[in-house]
Amino acid sequence: MIKKAILTVGLFAIAVLFLFSNISGQSKPSVPYPEGYRKWAHVKSMLILPGHPLYEAFGGIHHIYANDKAMRGYRTGKFPDGSVIVFDLLEAKSENNTYVEGARKVVGVMYKDSKKFKNTGGWGFEAFKGDTKERVVKNAEQDCFSCHASQEATDFVFSQYRK
Protein backbone atom coordinates (compact mmCIF):
# COMPACT_ATOMS: atom_id res chain seq x y z
CA MET A 1 0.00 0.00 0.00
CA ILE A 2 2.78 2.44 0.93
CA LYS A 3 4.75 1.50 -2.21
CA LYS A 4 1.67 2.13 -4.32
CA ALA A 5 1.14 5.57 -2.68
CA ILE A 6 4.81 6.51 -3.23
CA LEU A 7 4.61 5.37 -6.86
CA THR A 8 1.39 7.36 -7.40
CA VAL A 9 2.86 10.51 -5.84
CA GLY A 10 6.07 10.09 -7.84
CA LEU A 11 4.19 9.66 -11.12
CA PHE A 12 2.04 12.68 -10.28
CA ALA A 13 5.15 14.78 -9.57
CA ILE A 14 6.72 13.73 -12.88
CA ALA A 15 3.49 14.59 -14.73
CA VAL A 16 3.37 18.04 -13.09
CA LEU A 17 7.04 18.70 -13.95
CA PHE A 18 6.43 17.61 -17.55
CA LEU A 19 3.37 19.87 -17.81
CA PHE A 20 5.22 22.91 -16.44
CA SER A 21 8.25 22.32 -18.64
CA ASN A 22 5.98 22.23 -21.71
CA ILE A 23 4.13 25.36 -20.61
CA SER A 24 7.37 27.26 -19.98
CA GLY A 25 8.72 26.15 -23.35
CA GLN A 26 5.62 27.53 -25.03
CA SER A 27 5.72 30.87 -23.22
CA LYS A 28 8.66 32.15 -25.25
CA PRO A 29 7.28 33.05 -28.68
CA SER A 30 9.54 32.52 -31.65
CA VAL A 31 10.01 34.29 -34.95
CA PRO A 32 9.53 32.06 -38.00
CA TYR A 33 12.01 31.86 -40.88
CA PRO A 34 10.80 34.25 -43.62
CA GLU A 35 10.24 31.85 -46.51
CA GLY A 36 10.38 33.57 -49.92
CA TYR A 37 11.53 36.93 -48.53
CA ARG A 38 13.65 37.72 -51.62
CA LYS A 39 10.39 38.05 -53.58
CA TRP A 40 9.17 40.78 -51.21
CA ALA A 41 9.70 44.51 -51.71
CA HIS A 42 13.34 45.53 -51.65
CA VAL A 43 13.60 48.46 -49.23
CA LYS A 44 17.29 49.35 -49.59
CA SER A 45 20.85 48.10 -49.71
CA MET A 46 23.90 49.24 -47.79
CA LEU A 47 27.58 48.39 -47.48
CA ILE A 48 29.36 48.52 -44.11
CA LEU A 49 33.14 48.62 -44.48
CA PRO A 50 36.04 48.34 -42.00
CA GLY A 51 36.23 51.43 -39.82
CA HIS A 52 32.47 51.61 -39.22
CA PRO A 53 31.55 51.06 -35.53
CA LEU A 54 29.25 48.14 -36.44
CA TYR A 55 31.70 46.46 -38.80
CA GLU A 56 32.62 43.60 -36.45
CA ALA A 57 29.00 42.50 -36.07
CA PHE A 58 27.46 43.67 -39.33
CA GLY A 59 30.23 44.29 -41.86
CA GLY A 60 29.25 43.43 -45.42
CA ILE A 61 26.44 44.01 -47.91
CA HIS A 62 22.95 44.46 -46.46
CA HIS A 63 19.71 44.05 -48.34
CA ILE A 64 16.50 44.95 -46.52
CA TYR A 65 13.22 43.30 -47.60
CA ALA A 66 9.69 43.91 -46.34
CA ASN A 67 6.40 42.06 -46.68
CA ASP A 68 3.24 43.98 -47.73
CA LYS A 69 2.26 44.86 -44.16
CA ALA A 70 5.73 46.20 -43.41
CA MET A 71 5.60 48.30 -46.58
CA ARG A 72 2.45 49.95 -45.16
CA GLY A 73 4.48 50.66 -42.05
CA TYR A 74 7.28 52.28 -44.03
CA ARG A 75 4.71 54.56 -45.69
CA THR A 76 2.79 55.46 -42.52
CA GLY A 77 5.48 55.26 -39.83
CA LYS A 78 3.48 52.69 -37.82
CA PHE A 79 4.02 49.01 -38.59
CA PRO A 80 0.91 46.82 -38.16
CA ASP A 81 0.99 43.39 -36.58
CA GLY A 82 2.14 40.84 -39.15
CA SER A 83 4.83 43.15 -40.54
CA VAL A 84 8.08 41.33 -41.33
CA ILE A 85 11.37 43.02 -42.14
CA VAL A 86 14.36 40.96 -43.26
CA PHE A 87 17.98 42.04 -42.99
CA ASP A 88 19.95 39.87 -45.44
CA LEU A 89 23.67 40.23 -44.63
CA LEU A 90 26.29 38.94 -47.06
CA GLU A 91 30.06 39.12 -47.11
CA ALA A 92 31.42 41.93 -49.27
CA LYS A 93 34.16 40.71 -51.58
CA SER A 94 36.43 43.02 -53.52
CA GLU A 95 36.71 42.01 -57.18
CA ASN A 96 38.21 44.08 -59.99
CA ASN A 97 37.66 47.40 -58.17
CA THR A 98 34.06 46.52 -57.23
CA TYR A 99 32.35 45.00 -54.24
CA VAL A 100 30.30 41.88 -54.91
CA GLU A 101 28.20 39.61 -52.72
CA GLY A 102 30.00 36.77 -51.02
CA ALA A 103 28.59 34.10 -48.73
CA ARG A 104 25.49 34.85 -46.69
CA LYS A 105 26.42 35.62 -43.09
CA VAL A 106 23.01 35.96 -41.50
CA VAL A 107 19.31 36.48 -42.20
CA GLY A 108 17.99 38.83 -39.52
CA VAL A 109 14.23 39.06 -39.00
CA MET A 110 11.94 41.51 -37.24
CA TYR A 111 8.39 40.20 -36.81
CA LYS A 112 5.68 42.50 -35.45
CA ASP A 113 3.21 41.02 -32.98
CA SER A 114 2.39 43.54 -30.28
CA LYS A 115 0.81 40.95 -27.99
CA LYS A 116 3.55 38.31 -28.12
CA PHE A 117 6.51 40.71 -27.99
CA LYS A 118 5.41 43.37 -25.48
CA ASN A 119 8.89 43.66 -23.89
CA THR A 120 10.55 44.54 -27.19
CA GLY A 121 8.33 47.27 -28.62
CA GLY A 122 5.97 44.74 -30.21
CA TRP A 123 8.74 43.24 -32.33
CA GLY A 124 10.17 39.75 -32.22
CA PHE A 125 13.79 39.42 -33.33
CA GLU A 126 15.67 36.45 -34.74
CA ALA A 127 18.75 35.75 -36.80
CA PHE A 128 19.42 32.64 -38.85
CA LYS A 129 23.01 31.63 -39.53
CA GLY A 130 24.19 31.74 -43.15
CA ASP A 131 22.02 29.73 -45.51
CA THR A 132 20.62 27.60 -42.68
CA LYS A 133 17.64 27.93 -40.39
CA GLU A 134 19.85 27.68 -37.31
CA ARG A 135 18.71 30.30 -34.80
CA VAL A 136 21.44 32.46 -33.31
CA VAL A 137 19.65 35.02 -31.11
CA LYS A 138 20.02 34.04 -27.47
CA ASN A 139 18.30 37.02 -25.82
CA ALA A 140 16.29 39.31 -28.13
CA GLU A 141 15.96 42.05 -25.52
CA GLN A 142 19.70 42.23 -24.99
CA ASP A 143 21.01 41.18 -28.41
CA CYS A 144 18.64 43.18 -30.64
CA PHE A 145 16.17 45.43 -28.90
CA SER A 146 18.81 47.22 -26.81
CA CYS A 147 19.90 48.95 -30.06
CA HIS A 148 16.45 49.22 -31.66
CA ALA A 149 15.07 50.97 -28.55
CA SER A 150 16.78 54.15 -29.75
CA GLN A 151 14.44 54.14 -32.77
CA GLU A 152 11.16 54.43 -30.88
CA ALA A 153 10.10 57.41 -33.05
CA THR A 154 10.15 55.14 -36.13
CA ASP A 155 8.45 52.17 -34.42
CA PHE A 156 11.90 50.72 -33.56
CA VAL A 157 12.93 50.36 -37.22
CA PHE A 158 16.28 51.74 -38.42
CA SER A 159 15.78 51.48 -42.19
CA GLN A 160 13.72 53.87 -44.26
CA TYR A 161 12.13 53.08 -47.58
CA ARG A 162 13.80 54.80 -50.47
CA LYS A 163 11.18 55.83 -53.00
Cα→Cα distances 119→69, 76, 84, 142, Å: 21, 23, 18, 11
Closest by alpha carbon to 105, among 94, 123, 93?
A: 93
Alpha carbon of residue 93 to chain centroid: 25
CA–CA distance, 35 with 144 (Å, rounded to integer): 21
Mean pLDDT across 43-67: 95
Does the structure show a pLDDT above 80 at 5? no
Closest by alpha carbon to 31, among 110, 104, 106, 105?
A: 110
- What φ, ψ does residue 139 adopt, rounded to 5°? -140, 100
Does the structure show a pLDDT above 60 at 4? no
Does the structure show a pLDDT above 60 at 25? no
Interval 76-132: pLDDT, tens: 999 999 999 999 999 999 999 999 999 999 999 999 999 999 999 999 999 999 999
Which pairing describes strands 60-66 and 84-95: parallel, antiparallel, or unpaired? Answer: antiparallel
31 with 126: CB under 8 angstroms?
Answer: yes
Does the structure show a pLDDT above 90 at 17? no
Handedness of CA 148, 149, 151, 152 (dihedral sign): positive
Structural domains in the chain?
Answer: 37-154 (3.50.70.20)
63 with 49: CB under 8 angstroms?
Answer: no
Return the pLDDT at 140. 84
Sheet hosting strand 60-66, strand order edge to edge: 41-48, 60-66, 84-95, 98-112, 123-129
Return the pLDDT at 27. 55
What's the whole-model pTM score? 0.81
